[in-house]
């Protein structure tokens, strides 16, 4: 059995944002056992799972990713949409457009410290659309 919901996230600024509660509030009733796939329909943002407690982790993610993929590299050719654009595409693929999470006992079977991050790589990314699919 497959259930699917479309969700639009409110616009979030550049950076890494914990969206676990927001996602949980949008989910249909979860099955006893199954899987949830959360899919982002964009190419300059990403979804990942990481530490859900200390905001300094999300701050440092921004630092790490800005060093991994530099802006204003003179070797880039895709530059018309701004200095944040090509790095945003690369960062998006490094983290990926979707996360798949098991469901156990009608709940997301996340580890104690795992949260869902929306990773916004554009300075002005606008609202972001998700497709959430639950299967059981």
CA angle 51/48/130 to nearest 5° reads 130
50 lies in the site for a copy of itself, by CB under 8 A: yes
By the rule CB under 8 A, 90 interacts with a copy of itself: yes
The stretches of 1-136 forming alpha helices (DSSP H) are: 20-26, 55-68, 85-95
Taking CB under 8 A as the rule, does residue 76 contact a copy of itself? yes
- Which listed residue (10, 25, 29, 78) binds a copy of itself by CB under 8 A? 78
Residues near 102 by Cβ (< 8 Å), separated by ≥ 6?
34, 35, 36, 108, 109
C-alpha 103/C-alpha 35 separation (Å) is 5
Which of 10, 25, 29, 64 touches a copy of itself by CB under 8 A?
Answer: 64
Binding residues (CB under 8 A) for a copy of itself: these are: 2-4, 31, 33-35, 37, 39-43, 48-51, 54, 56-57, 59-61, 63-65, 67-69, 73, 75-78, 86-87, 89-90, 92-102, 104, 109-114, 117, 129, 131, 133, 135-136
């Amino acid at each position: 059995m497959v259930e699917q919901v479309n969700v639009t996230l409110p616009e979030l600024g550049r950076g890494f944002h914990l969206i676990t509660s927001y996602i949980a509030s949008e989910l249909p009733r979860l099955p006893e056992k199954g899987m949830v796939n959360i899919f982002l329909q964009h190419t300059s943002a990403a979804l990942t799972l990481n530490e859900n407690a200390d905001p300094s982790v999300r701050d440092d993610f921004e630092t790490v990713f800005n060093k991994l993929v530099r802006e204003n590299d003179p070797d880039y050719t895709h530059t018309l949409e701004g200095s944040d654009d090509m790095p945003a595409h690369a960062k998006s693929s490094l983290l990926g457009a979707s996360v798949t999470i098991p469901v156990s006992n009608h709940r997301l079977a996340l580890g104690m410290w795992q949260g869902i991050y929306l990773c916004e790589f554009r300075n002005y990314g606008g609202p972001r659309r998700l497709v959430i699919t639950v299967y059981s």
